[in-house]
Amino acid sequence: MLFKIAWRNIWRSRTRSFVVIGSIIVGVWAVISLLSFSSGISSSYVNSTIQNELSHIQIHHPEFLNEREIGLDIEDSQAILTKVKKTPNVKAASQRTVSIGMVSSSKGARGVMIMGVDPEEEDQVTNLKSNIKEGNYFGSKKRNPILISKRMAEKLQVKMRQKVVLNFQDKNNDITAGAFRIAGIYSTGNNTFDEFRVYVRRSDMNRLMGEENLAHEIAIFLNEPRELEMTAGALKTISPNLAVQTYKEISPEINLFESQLQISAAIFMTIVMLALIFGIINTMLMAVLERYRELGMLMSIGMNKSRIFFMIVYETIMLGIIALPFGLAAGYVTVRWLNKKGIDLSAYGEGMQEFGFSQIVYPDLQSEYYLQLALAVVITAVLASLYPAWKAIKLKPVEAIRKI
């Protein structure tokens, strides 16, 4: 019965109810759109870091990431690789030889991280191959090909097929040098990353190092990234003496970044909800004051305070529940549309690229957020209804009736 009265009461003042419903719809839509945008930025950053650089999980000698010395390699890395590939949820894995060194042309020299990769396996864990803008990805059989970034090519003033020289330490801590021919020029969109990295074949690098099977790093790409921690756990049991780390552990700024976005999302959500709360309180107070005499009559003939209270609460919740599907749907459609289209941020691209963001953001939002938002709206409605409902039960029936 209370539901019936509450429902009909909503439609007494249609305009007013539609204003409330409309503002909830707009609020929900705005929150979804903004969340999807920041979530799009976040995942583009995380994804590009995973795809260009880290992959999902990496295995190293426990000291390697701190010291980066040639000797801190993975013992028996080929055997470990085989076991890793058999672990559930592992899609692909690739070994790398890593060294800090110097690349020089006739025009200049720069410090770099030299990555020795196995071309075929590497292609399954990062998208280096698709980042090639000129030339090709270790296509020719010729010796000592090297991939450098576009930015590096500019700095060293070199072009395709020209030679550069790599200097780095070999196994005996002597400096070794090798001439490499530029086979491809890549660009990931992340300038900091590009400026610091060159790729060669692991076999070429190991030959110069003087140890054929050397590997410092195994990069692992997963089928189901959501099971990251579980898979990392499984990998730890395979290689108990090595450091198995997820991309979040290797790159703590990803975590920081994600939590920062979550905080700003929560702040934004709170602001919108607060605005809605005050709007709803205002409207429901008006509805209560307008029905002062009627509420007095209801109390006179025996409707008790808790029923009056809940009637007002239900009315408010109903407004929220009517608005919710429209707000969620509007938000969903907007997100799908923006996701398909992408938002071009190239106007701000210069700055963004420095930090590893891609220029086009594809907003997206996980379904959990829709649920959270639905819950938040219902809670908002309940909170907003309390004061008007309390006002309603505070009225004295005699006074209300006197006004008749």
Q: What is the contact surface with another protein in residues (CB under 8 A)?
A: 1, 5, 8-9, 11-12, 293-294, 297-305, 307, 397-398, 401-402, 404
Using the 8-state DSSP alphabet, how is residue 53 labeled? I
H-helix or E-strand spanning residue 83: helix 77-86
98 bridge partner residues:
115
Distance (Å, whole) CA 323 – CA 321? 5
CA 328 to chain centre: 21
CB of 14 to another protein, least distance (A): 13
CB of 293 to another protein, least distance (A): 5
| Alpha carbon distances (Å) from 207 to 79, 144, 250 | 20, 10, 29
CB of 5 to another protein, least distance (A): 7
- Give the residue with the Cβ less far from another protein, 7 or 278: 7
143-146, long-range: CB within 8 Å, 24+ apart, which pairs? 143/204, 144/178, 144/179, 144/180, 144/181, 144/200, 144/201, 144/204, 145/180, 145/181, 145/182, 145/183, 145/184, 145/200, 145/201, 145/204, 146/180, 146/181, 146/182, 146/183, 146/198, 146/199, 146/200
- Give the residue with the Cβ less far from another protein, 9 or 42: 9
- Give the residue with the Cβ less far from another protein, 234 or 401: 401
- Give the residue with the Cβ less far from another protein, 41 or 395: 395
CB of 6 to another protein, least distance (A): 10
CB of 28 to another protein, least distance (A): 28
CB of 16 to another protein, least distance (A): 15
- Give the residue with the Cβ less far from another protein, 301 or 347: 301
- Give the residue with the Cβ less far from another protein, 18 or 196: 18
